[in-house]
């Protein structure tokens, strides 16, 4: 996920980050934020090495939990001099480019955060990997304009302590009063198959309040 204003703030570096940058014409970033240290969210970090060393020529400001910093050091030790790592505590706030980020603990791997992202016009909560929201997190994000939430499973949730199913994501969005609900982290690991057409038919009764996003989707905040 990229938040773009006068600066570009990137959340996570998935393994296909280079292809995403090429597709979207992105050739620079100003800040890097991590949700957690699973491979599907950090695996593309090495693709940024020469962007930092040869183009930026200074450390890239990088924010995450201490657990994630530790794991990045283990898996990408050669990148440590490229990153200016700054650890966040749960519920810590930071303003970057007139956007406020609040790190909210997620029920997933130790040190996983979702982020409440606020501009003067919009409140957005992004949690790509999480099980049931903690009560204090649900309270903090009540009435958000945009909810982008883990919807890993269809039907049976194979990992309820760490993920949502699509119906659970929609239920959560309705409970907190989110104005728009985007299903993210959709997977292929389903107890029963479903096509995109069938999924879009399933969410049709919500009259556009629930959205299946796509690569390259742009949302104005």
| Band of pLDDT at residue 10, cut at 50, 70 and 90 | very high
Could you give the percent of the chain with pLDDT greater than 90?
A: 96
Is the model's pLDDT at 96 over the cut of 90?
A: yes
Give rounded-to-5 percent helix, strand, coil for the chain. Answer: 30, 25, 45
Q: Is residue 77 part of a domain?
A: yes
Is the model's pLDDT at 190 over the cut of 90?
A: no
Q: Which of 34, 66, 89 is the last residue of a domain?
A: 89
> Hey, is 62 helix, strand or coil?
strand
What is this structure's pTM?
A: 0.96
Structure confidence at residue 188 (pLDDT): 77
Domain that holds residue 150: 122-212
Which whole number is the average pLDDT over 160-168? Answer: 95
Q: Which of 89, 104, 135 is the last residue of a domain?
A: 89
| Band of pLDDT at residue 26, cut at 50, 70 and 90 | very high
pLDDT tens-place string over residues 103-121: 999 999 999 999 999 999 9
Q: Is residue 104 part of a domain?
A: no
| Band of pLDDT at residue 155, cut at 50, 70 and 90 | confident
Can you tell me the distance from the alpha carbon of 146 to that of 114, in angstroms, rounded to the nearest whole number? Answer: 13
Q: Is residue 204 part of a domain?
A: yes
User: Is residue 153 domain-shared with residue 203, that is, in the same domain?
Assistant: yes
Sheet bearing 123-127, strands edge to edge: 93-96, 99-105, 113-118, 123-127, 146-150, 180-184, 210-211
Structure confidence at residue 22 (pLDDT): 94
CA 151 to chain centre: 12
Q: Is residue 2 part of a domain?
A: yes
């Amino acid at each position: 996920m990229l938040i773009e204003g006068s600066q570009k703030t990137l959340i996570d570096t998935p393994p296909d980050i280079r292809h995403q940058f090429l597709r979207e014409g992105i050739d620079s970033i100003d800040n890097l934020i991590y949700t957690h240290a699973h491979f599907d969210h950090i695996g593309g970090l090495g693709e940024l090495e020469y962007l930092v060393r040869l183009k930026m020529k200074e450390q890239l400001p990088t924010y995450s939990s201490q657990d994630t910093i530790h794991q990045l050091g283990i898996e990408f030790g050669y990148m440590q001099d490229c990153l200016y790592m700054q650890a966040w505590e749960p519920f810590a706030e930071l303003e970057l480019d007139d956007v406020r980020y609040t790190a909210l603990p997620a029920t997933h791997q130790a040190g996983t955060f979702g982020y409440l992202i606020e501009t003067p016009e919009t409140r957005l909560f992004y949690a790509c990997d999480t099980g049931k929201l903690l009560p204090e997190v649900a309270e903090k994000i009540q009435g958000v304009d945009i909810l982008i939430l883990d919807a890993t499973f269809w039907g049976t949730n194979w990992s309820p302590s760490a993920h949502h199913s699509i119906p659970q994501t929609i239920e959560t969005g309705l409970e907190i009063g989110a104005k728009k609900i985007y299903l993210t982290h959709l997977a292929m690991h389903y107890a029963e198959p479903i096509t995109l057409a069938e999924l879009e038919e399933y969410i049709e009764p919500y009259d556009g309040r629930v959205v299946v996003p796509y690569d390259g989707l742009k949302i104005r905040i």
